[in-house]
Amino acid sequence: MLGNQPIIVLREGTKREKGKNAQSNNIAAAIAIADTIKSTLGPKGMDKMLVDTTGDVIITNDGATILKEIEIEHPSAKMIVEVAKSQDAECGDGTTTAVILTGELLKQAQDLLDQHIHPTVINSGFKIASKKAIDTLDSISIPLSLTDVKLLEHIAKTSMASKSARSAKEHLAKIAVSAILTIHEKEKENIKVDLDNIQIQKKQGAGIEKTEMIKGTILDKKRSHPDMVTHVKDAKIALIDAAFEIKKTEVDARIQIQDPTQLQAFLDEEEKMILHLVQKVADSGADVVFCKKSIGDLAEHFLLKKGIFSIASISESDMKKLAKATGGKIVANIDDLSKKDLGFAGNVEERSIGDEKMIFVTDCKNPKAVSLLIRGSTEHVTDDIERAVHDALSVVKLAVEDQKITAGGGASAAEIALVLRNYSLTVGGREQMAIESFANALEIIPKTLAENAGLDPINMILELRSEHKKGNKYAGINVDKGVVDDMVKLHVVEPIRVSRQQIFSASEAARMILRIDDVISSKGSASSMPSGYGSDVGDFDE
Ligand code: ADP
Ligand code: MG
């Protein structure tokens, strides 16, 4: 107020919510999102049927997929979706847990706020707790050796336990592990796995058990000429990034031809040049040509006559995969092509898959790129298998890169909760309460697993706590028998990075939401919240 004159800062119609109200609303919205997907957690979790505006149906229990499909309005709820998104981008698995954990941290924070604990104190307590939690996770992790294929398969199976693909998980786990072990690369001390080197193709019409890994590449293409052979054994492959055609000039050039002999000479010259290119390929010893650009009719004819199998117009990414798989080099100038540039594949063949034709480049020696051909009876099945395989590949990749695993089934969360409770005593003050609340929040993981398995969550948590107090740090929820059990013995194991990222991003998001004490929303914004806030949501990298 200036004298009696009110100062108007915000535009007319702007809504504003301050202090406790703003905080509670944000927290409530975030908790609502977490509650929506809670029932899908774990092997006994339920599925959600999502119907979009056009009536398309997705049935899934994949947290990332659910949050991607449903339309969320509230901005702080959108921040929770960001948690799922970052979990998916960093780890490819564990999204449901990350969201549930964020929701529970906020629920615990709300209790503290109700007891008049200042958000700043909660914030710093959560920060201390999350650091301690991540350190503890590291100290209870188990080293993994890359030769332990069985253990890697258990990691894959744990990630698929909650998917509809679980009936075929033995088979899919074997495929995922061998794919990752085939393509992993050493970079100095570190092991790197680039999932881009695993190509995934889906074709419905056969059982899941027909899903296979191919040491090579699958091209969604046909032979360029029907007279061409359908199968080349021990193929020597030229990878070419140039057209088998006489280049058209950039400018319109016109050649004046006065008599028929000149025309013939011109055509002869063109033929000679094309023949020269084809001869170059033949001289290199290649019997297969994969070409990124086009192959003209004349070139096709000569290639066919020389018995060279050729495919044109292959995408850049497929060319790269072919190079990695066959060990060949992509050559830009056909004149430079020589024997040492050629790649190798035991078989190059056109196969019929369902009612379509595809080119299989298989049995490559030491491939650094492989393909998975996913089969299932219907499109819904192949889509869900793809999601399951994506999770399996992701976790095996993380395990191979970090070579550290942790116990699943809520075991790690329960152990960290125990450590945090003891630790909070040494911190004291009001932050102690926040650290204890963080510990309580972590227990939402075993609690929800138990609840979804139809067990009594309170009893299970009490039993779990007592086992951990006795020193059983791998004790978690055996969802099949309904008892507390050693998760490592049950082979319920996960790569360390999944839990680490969950704790990290859940606590970051919860703290960010807690710091907000003022929500100013411009007139007309759909959610009556600031526009642009948390936008661009729902775009997952899968
Ligand atoms: P998320 O999206 O968080 O990965 P999931 O539905 O895949 O959610 O469930 C993952 C949780 O299920 C993890 O806590 C994992 O440890 C647990 N889990 C997986 N298999 C088992 C099992 N056989 N017994 C108990 N818990 C399991
Ligand atoms: Mg999972």
HEC profile of 163-227: CHHHHHHHHHHHHHHHHHHHHCEEECCEEECCHHHEEEEEEECCCHHHCEEECCEEECCCCCCCC
Pocket test for ligand 1, best of 37, 41, 68, 445 (most atoms within 8 A of CB): 41
Decide if pLDDT at 537 tops 50.
Answer: no
Q: Could you tell me which of 510, 518, 457, 533 has the C-alpha nearest to residue 126?
A: 510
448 classed as catalytic: no
Task: Output the average pLDDT for the chain.
Answer: 87
Give the Cα separation of 374 and 204 in Å (integer): 8
Q: Which of 287, 318, 341, 391 is catalytic?
A: 391
Pocket test for ligand 1, best of 36, 97, 493 (most atoms within 8 A of CB): 97
Give the Cα separation of 299 and 297 in Å (integer): 5
Find the farthest-apart pair of alpha carbons in the chain and give their distance in angstroms, rounded.
102
CA angle 349, 351, 354 (to 5 degrees): 165
Decide if pLDDT at 272 tops 80.
Answer: yes
Residue nearest ligand 1's atom 11 by CA: 42
Q: Which of 65, 95, 211, 406 is catalytic?
A: 95
Pocket test for ligand 1, best of 60, 95, 162, 405 (most atoms within 8 A of CB): 162
102 classed as catalytic: no
pLDDT at 213: 92
Q: Please, what is the end-to-end C-alpha distance for the chain in angstroms?
A: 53
pLDDT at 156: 96
Edge-first strand order for the sheet with 370-376 is: 198-204, 370-376, 212-214
* Two structure tokens written together for 450: 């138990």
CA angle 364, 367, 371 (to 5 degrees): 85
Decide if pLDDT at 337 tops 50.
Answer: yes
The answer for residues whose C-beta is within 8 angstroms of residue 449's C-beta and 6 or more apart is 41, 42, 44, 409, 410, 476, 477, 479
pLDDT at 531: 38
DSSP state of 538: S
The mean-pLDDT minimum among 51-60, 376-385, 500-509, 524-533 falls in: 524-533
Strands 518-521 and 57-60: unpaired
pLDDT at 116: 92
* Two structure tokens written together for 94: 């564990």
pLDDT at 238: 94
The Cα-based distances of 182 to 194, 198, 215 in angstroms read 11, 10, 8
Summarised one tens digit per residue, pLDDT across range 149-168 is 999 999 999 999 877 766 78
Strands 356-362 and 217-219: antiparallel
CA of residue 495 to ligand 1 center, whole Å: 12
Place 539 in a pLDDT band, splitting at 50, 70 and 90. very low
More confident residue, 352 or 113: 113
Predicted TM-score of the model (pTM): 0.84
Q: Which of 36, 65, 96, 158 is catalytic?
A: 96
Q: Over pLDDT 70: what percentage of the chain? A: 94
| Location of structure tokens 């809670």 | 38
Give the Cα separation of 82 and 538 in Å (integer): 8
Neighbours of ion ligand 2 (CB under 5 A): 93
* Two structure tokens written together for 228: 């061409």
The mean-pLDDT minimum among 139-153, 374-388, 404-418 falls in: 374-388
CA of residue 421 to ligand 1 center, whole Å: 24
CA of residue 377 to ligand 2 center, whole Å: 23
Decide if pLDDT at 425 tops 60.
Answer: yes
Strands 288-291 and 343-353: unpaired
Place 60 in a pLDDT band, splitting at 50, 70 and 90. confident
326 classed as catalytic: no
Mean pLDDT for 55-79 is 79
Using CA of residue 80, residue 82, residue 85, residue 91, what is the dihedral sign? negative
CA of residue 112 to ligand 1 center, whole Å: 29
* Two structure tokens written together for 146: 């890359």
Class of domain 15-142+407-515+523-538: mainly alpha
Taking the CA of 39 as reference, the closest ligand is 1
* Two structure tokens written together for 484: 């507390």
pLDDT at 492: 96
* Two structure tokens written together for 132: 């301690």
What are the counts of helices (DSSP H) followed by strands (DSSP E) for the chain? 16, 21
Residue nearest ligand 1's atom 16 by CA: 408
The Cα-based distances of 354 to 121, 202, 357, 358, 387 in angstroms read 62, 11, 8, 10, 22
391 classed as catalytic: yes
Decide if pLDDT at 4 tops 90.
Answer: no
Residue nearest ligand 1's atom 4 by CA: 94
The answer for residues whose C-beta is within 8 angstroms of residue 290's C-beta and 6 or more apart is 237, 238, 239, 240, 310, 311, 314, 319, 322
Give the Cα separation of 298 and 294 in Å (integer): 12
CA of residue 159 to ligand 2 center, whole Å: 5
Residues in the chain: 542
The amino acid present at 106, given as its one-letter code, is L
Q: Which of 36, 40, 62, 97 is catalytic?
A: 62
Decide if pLDDT at 18 tops 80.
Answer: no
Summarised one tens digit per residue, pLDDT across range 164-178 is 766 788 999 999 999
Strands 288-291 and 309-311: parallel
Pocket test for ligand 1, best of 61, 86, 158, 393 (most atoms within 8 A of CB): 158
pLDDT at 381: 86
Summarised one tens digit per residue, pLDDT across range 401-414 is 999 999 999 999 99
Which of 203-207, 247-251, 311-315, 462-466 has maximum average pLDDT? Answer: 462-466
Give the Cα separation of 137 and 527 in Å (integer): 38
Write out residues with Cβ below 6 Å of ligand 1.
40-43, 45, 61, 63, 93-97, 158, 161-162, 408-409, 445, 449, 477, 479, 492, 494
The answer for residues whose C-beta is within 8 angstroms of residue 445's C-beta and 6 or more apart is 41, 97, 100, 101, 410, 413
